[in-house]
Amino acid sequence: MIGFSGSSSVSLILQHLQRHGQATVKELEEVLGVSTTAVREHLAHLQAESLVSTSTVRRGPGRPRLVYTLTRKAHNLFPKQYDLLINLLLKEIAAVGGAEQVDLLLERVGKRLAGEYADRISGHDIPARLAELRALLEARGIPAEVHQSGDGLHIFACPYFDVAQKHGEVCAMERQMLEEVLGGKVELEHSIREGHHRCRFVVNKEQSQV
């Protein structure tokens, strides 16, 4: 797997470009201690993966130099600490405005998420809307399936796992979001946060508003 950690030639190229912004083939030869041909082969591989791009730079007299830089896709490989940031933000909100303020914030976030999903769902009954929602979740990389009974949704990977460990309110936000999207009362029977291998949401069809 291509990444910024490790000591492989490809990883060292990424690390060098990360630290210095750009580099020529000659500079990378010195970094890796390999031939021009070997460097070009590694760069060709990275270009094929859309991780590096090329441009020409003129410095003084002579022909312009070809330099390599990281692409946006490559920058997305950097380690992220979104969960840490979110946990700290929620902690500060609770410290300033109390737990009620955290609940209100997450409720509003849930409504925004629901709006994004609802705009892409056209089913007129719960089973149809569940099937469409499952497909949208899968497209986001969240494995999910509709229960055989057609009245529930199983989610097998919590998209907010680390945050949910410290803020159970996130689970309530997800449940409320599903209610907005599906148009029915939703119950969270069990969750990954509680140690189960999946979150099971069940829709009360009798209270459906669809």
The model's confidence at residue 188, banded by pLDDT at 50, 70 and 90, is: very high
- CATH for the 82-207 domain, from 1.10.3470, 3.30.230, 3.90.660, 3.30.1380: 3.30.1380
Query: What does pTM read for this prediction?
Result: 0.65
In this structure, which CATH number among 3.10.620.30, 1.10.10.10, 3.40.50.300, 3.40.50.970 belongs to the domain 9-75? 1.10.10.10
* Res 6 pLDDT > 80: no
Query: Is 80 exceeded by the pLDDT of residue 101?
Result: yes
Contact yes or no for 193/164 (Cβ under 8 A): yes
Average pLDDT over residues 87-101: 92
